[in-house]
Amino acid sequence: MDFDLRSRNAEVQSFMTDKRSLFHQQHAFITGGSSGIGKATARLLFSQGANVTILARNRDKLDTALAEIETARCSPQQRAIALEADVSDRPSLERAISEAIEQLGDPDLFVASAGIAHPGYFQDLPVEIFEQTMAVNYFGTLYCLKSIVPVMAKRGSGHVVLISSGAGSIGIYGYTPYCPSKFALRGLAESLRGELRQMGIGISIVYPPDTDTPQLAAENLTKPPETQAITATAQMWQPENVAEAIVRGIRRRSFEIAPGLEMSILVRFHSLLSPLLQRYFDSLVDRQR
C-alpha cells in the first residue's frame, strides 16, 4: 500500500513537471495584460515557468499587475516585463514588440487580450465609438499578428491566441459596436488557421462568457436595461477560470476554446440556435419595454 502511494505521488509529481516544462522559459507576449483575463493568463503562464511580457495603456495598472504576476514565480531565472502602448497605435505597438523581443527574445506565445466595449442604443452611439472599438479589438490584434507571426514563421513554431467573446458568435441587443469587432476576430482566426498551420504555428480563438473584469464593470455603466436583461441570463465567470481554460486549450492545441457548457454549445451550434435565441432575446426586450 505504501509502495502504491509513493508510486501515485511520483506520477503526480511527474505530471506537474511535464505541465511546467511546456512553457518553461518560453516568452509569452500578452496584450491587455494589466487586468482581467489578460492578467490572469499572464500570471498562470508565469507560474508554469514562462517569461512574460504584459502590454497595456496605463503604467500604474501595469506596475500593479507586474507585482502580482511576480508573486507566482516558480524559477529564479524567470523574467516578467511590462510595456506601455496602445494596440490601436501601430507605430507605438511595433516599438513595444521590438523592445519585448530585445529583452526576452522572440515570442513563443501571443495572447491578444486587449479589448474594449461600450454598449448602448445604436442611434445614440457616435460613429467614433464604432471606429474605436474596431481599432482596438480587431486592428489592435491584427497589428500584433503582422509583427509576431513573421518571427514565429522564421522559427517554424509558436502559438497565437485571439480572444473573441460569446458575442462573437451571436449578435446581442445593445452591442452593435462590440459584436462586429468580435465576429471579425472569428473570421480572421478561421481564415488564418490554414496558413499558420503550414508554418508550424498553432492558433486558438477563445469565446469567454461574461467574466468579472474591470471591462465588464465599465460596460455596465452604459448597458441598456434590455441588454442587462439578456446578459443576466448567463453565468458569470472569474478571470482565473477563463485563464485555466485558455492554457488548457493551448496545451491541447485546440482551435476553438469555449469555457463552460453554455459557450461550448453556443459555439458549436450557433447557426442552429440563433433563431431560438433571438426569439428569446426579443421576449426579454419586450418585457423591458
Q: Mind telling me the catalytic residues?
A: 164, 178, 182
Residue type, 181: S
From start to end of 67-114, where are the E strands? 80-84, 109-112
The conformation of residue 207, written as its DSSP 8-state character, comes to -
The owner of cell 435565441 is 277
Q: Which of 86, 90, 74, 76 is nearest to 16 (CA)?
A: 74
**Are 39 and 33 spatial neighbours (Cβ–Cβ below 8 Å)?**
yes
The owner of cell 431560438 is 276
Joined together, the cell numbers standing for residue 91 give 507605430
Q: Which of 150, 44, 232 is nearest to 54 (CA)?
A: 44
- Angle subtended at Cα 168 by Cα 167 and Cα 173, rounded to the nearest 5 degrees: 35
**Are 174 and 119 spatial neighbours (Cβ–Cβ below 8 Å)?**
yes
Rounded CA gap, 168 and 180, in Å? 7
Rounded CA gap, 43 and 56, in Å? 15
| Span between the terminal Cα atoms of the chain, in Å | 67
